[in-house]
Amino acid sequence: MSAHSHAADDPHAALEALKETSTGIENKKLAMWAFLASDCMFFGTLISTHLIYRKIYPDIVDPKAIFDIELTGFSSFILLMSSFLMALSVSAAHKGNIKGVRWFLGGTIFFGLIFLCGQVYEFHHFVTDFGLTLSSNVFGSTFYVLTGTHGVHVALGIIWLGSWLVYTFTDRYKAEHALDIEVAGLYWHFVDIVWIVIFTVVYLVEYVPFLT
């Protein structure tokens, strides 16, 4: 029996119907995975640019003197927690638990906003206290472009998730939209894994002892 015939009665059947593609994967999800794969390459070039210029011009800036690893560490915890809440949000959407979707999406957005506030504070601190701007030196250029691009991804994710949060309060939200929440979740988790890499290669390695 076709899953379509159940779709009107059962949210699970409605979601299963969306899998009736040649790959067995929902088209939206497949498109998002393809986009994330391309975004990997984008961030790969930004990260390698930063690393290369850190190696070529090691003495332009002493990152340990300007970084606030406690703040950055706190931001990392916040982003990981937002990822956890996003996973719960997707789970709630698949269960048809609309209240859960709202609460968890709200929590994800809240933590995402805290992360962004931390990044704005960090940038403001660097510019006002250390005079590090996008054009002051090559470290500033690569650092702001890399972390700023990630911040823009976070901001876009917050807008996307926020629009879904609003949508859940309308009558138009249906069980099939669990897939859309899941696709938005994939994007949000990707933002998290990019930060995992940035946190290590941009921030933590600067604190490794005996590095000259």
Looking at residue 202, what DSSP letter applies?
A: I
Give the whole-angstrom CA distance, residue 101 versus residue 166.
11
27 binds other proteins (CB under 8 A): no
Neighbouring C-alpha atoms within 13 Å toward the C-beta of 55:
7
Does position 113 bind other proteins by CB under 8 A? no
| Residue selected from 117, 152, 159, 205 as contacting other proteins according to rule CB under 8 A | 205
Q: Which of 4, 27, 55, 121 binds other proteins (CB under 8 A)?
A: 55
Nearest to 189 by CA among 157, 162, 211, 166: 157
**Residues binding other proteins: what is the number (CB under 8 A)?**
70
Contact 157, 188 (CB under 8 A): yes
Least distance in Å: CB of 193 to other proteins?
5
Answer for the pair 78, 114: CB distance below 8 angstroms, yes or no: yes
Indicate which single residue of 4, 57, 58, 169 sits in contact with other proteins (rule: CB under 8 A).
58
193 near other proteins, judged by CB under 8 A: yes
Residue 98 sits in the site that holds other proteins (CB under 8 A): no
Give yes or no for residue 182 binding other proteins (CB under 8 A). Answer: yes
Q: In this chain, which of 10, 17, 103, 176 binds other proteins, going by CB under 8 A?
A: 10
Q: Assess 149 for contact with other proteins (CB under 8 A).
A: no
HEC states along 173-194? CCHHHHHHHHHHHHHHHHHHHH
Q: Which two tokens stand for residue 154?
A: 């976070």
For 109, phi then psi, to 5°, come to -65, -40
Tell me how far, at minimum, the Cβ of 74 lies from other proteins, in Å: 10
Residues 6+ apart with CB under 8 A from 185: 86, 87, 89, 90
Positions that interact with other proteins (CB under 8 A): 1, 5-6, 9-13, 16, 23-25, 29-30, 33-34, 36-41, 43-45, 47-49, 51-52, 54-56, 58, 69, 73, 76-77, 80-81, 83-84, 86-88, 90-92, 94-96, 182, 185-186, 189-190, 192-193, 196-197, 199-200, 204-205, 207-212
